[in-house]
Amino acid sequence: MFTLNFRILAVAITGFFLGSGSAQAETVSIPVLVPVTGFLSLEGTSQRNGALLALEEAADNLPADLDVQFEVFDTATSPEIAVNAFLRAAEAPNVVAVVAPIFGTQMLALLPLAREDGVPLITISGTASITEQDNPYVFRFFPGDVVVKEAHARYALEVLGAERPALITQTTAYGQSGQAHLSTRFIDAGVAPVLDEAVDVSVNDMLPVLIKAQRAGADMLLLHLHSGPTAQLLRQAASLGLDIPIVAGSALHQPTTADLLTQDELAGSCAETGSSPISGGDTDIDTWTQRYRSRFAIEPDAFALGQYDGVRMVLAALNEGARSAADVRQYLSRETFDGLAMAYKSDGTGNMAHDAVIVCYGSDSRVPRIERRYENVTGVR
């Protein structure tokens, strides 16, 4: 406990020196709260990298008298740690926005805090319910389930002509949210899934659910699974010789997921996502991808790009003269921002991203090509 008091003392002392010293530069803080440990550390690390890249590049584009401070706080796997991280991060000077975790459950815990503090949360969490809490402080820079699952369903129904789809999801927050949207969407379209099953992330062998899909006479597999389970299911489907189309959730667009599979196993499968930075075809995204690779020595994914765009929009607000959390929130809720992945504009509840893409893997490349774009799915922009 003595450490606790030392910490308070240290904060007080630094505050004293900061206060008496540099009065010239105005300081704003954008803390980064993401899960970099635990079962969401893959997605959380993408999120962190995207945010860091934007913040590290910020200095070049911002007014000289503005100093942007940022620090990364791990939110691990529970709402408790996310709340701790938020309250600690909120002690930074003039917090104008917070990069908030991809983990929907943690977002739900942070929302009331953001409202109390009046600080906007910049996230890429796809969980539908976070923008349904009537909370004006959440801004989502990755298409939510309302958007990507619509694209997912449209591609399956309209392009591939699904008649007997099997829906395989995960029993996590991510999985249940996607399952709810996909299932309703297909039932509304008159094409009720022949199998609608959720599996735990710790499940190793996907054979049971594949055999059930086979028995049900599925003509297509619709997945909404995390990275490892997605790869596992694709591999076992290929091994079984299950020759039906597979349209997966965003996990399959991640290069780390594709790395687990052979070309044969990948070929022909598709995935929904907000963007696919490694797919190429856009000069700005390509140079961004280069910068990302050289900074972090890994391949970027849509989560990183979405979070990058989100932070960039906050920085744009600062460039336009915003100096407080209220200013930034105003800007985010009113303006349209032309990001790298897409143009972002709030639908009034904090959904900023309204475009989704379907990417597919061919038989000759491990980089997915963008097969279809579904722009302005919800008609907001």
The yes or no reply on residue 38 touching other proteins (CB under 8 A) is yes
Crossing angle for the helix pair 302-319 and 283-296, nearest 10 degrees?
Answer: 100
Phi (first) and psi of residue 110, to 5 degrees: -85, -25
Contacting residue, 62, 66, 159, 198, with other proteins by CB under 8 A: 198
- Give the interface segment with other proteins, choosing from 137-145, 237-245, 280-288, 324-332 (CB under 8 A): 237-245
Nearer to other proteins, 176 or 324 (CB): 176
Give the DSSP per-residue string, 283-341: HHHHHHHHHHHHHHSS---HHHHHHHHHHHHHHHHHHTT--SHHHHHHHHHH-EEE-SS
Reported as type and span, the H/E element at residue 104 is helix 104-117
The yes or no reply on residue 209 touching other proteins (CB under 8 A) is yes
- Tell me the CB-side half-sphere exposure of residue 106, using CA atoms within 13 A: 27
The yes or no reply on residue 297 touching other proteins (CB under 8 A) is no
Contacting residue, 26, 136, 164, 171, with other proteins by CB under 8 A: 171
Judged by CB under 8 A, the chain residues 97 through 156 that form the site for other proteins are: 104-105, 108-109, 111-112, 116, 127, 129, 133
Alpha-carbon span 233 to 170, nearest angstrom: 12
Contacting residue, 78, 319, 333, 378, with other proteins by CB under 8 A: 78
Alpha-carbon span 94 to 193, nearest angstrom: 50
- Give the interface segment with other proteins, choosing from 142-150, 202-210, 279-287, 303-311 (CB under 8 A): 202-210
The yes or no reply on residue 176 touching other proteins (CB under 8 A) is yes
The yes or no reply on residue 228 touching other proteins (CB under 8 A) is yes
Greatest CA separation for the chain = 74
* Closest among 168, 141, 165 to 154, alpha carbons compared: 165
The yes or no reply on residue 45 touching other proteins (CB under 8 A) is yes
Nearer to other proteins, 55 or 313 (CB): 55
The yes or no reply on residue 39 touching other proteins (CB under 8 A) is yes
CB of 374 to other proteins, least distance (A): 25
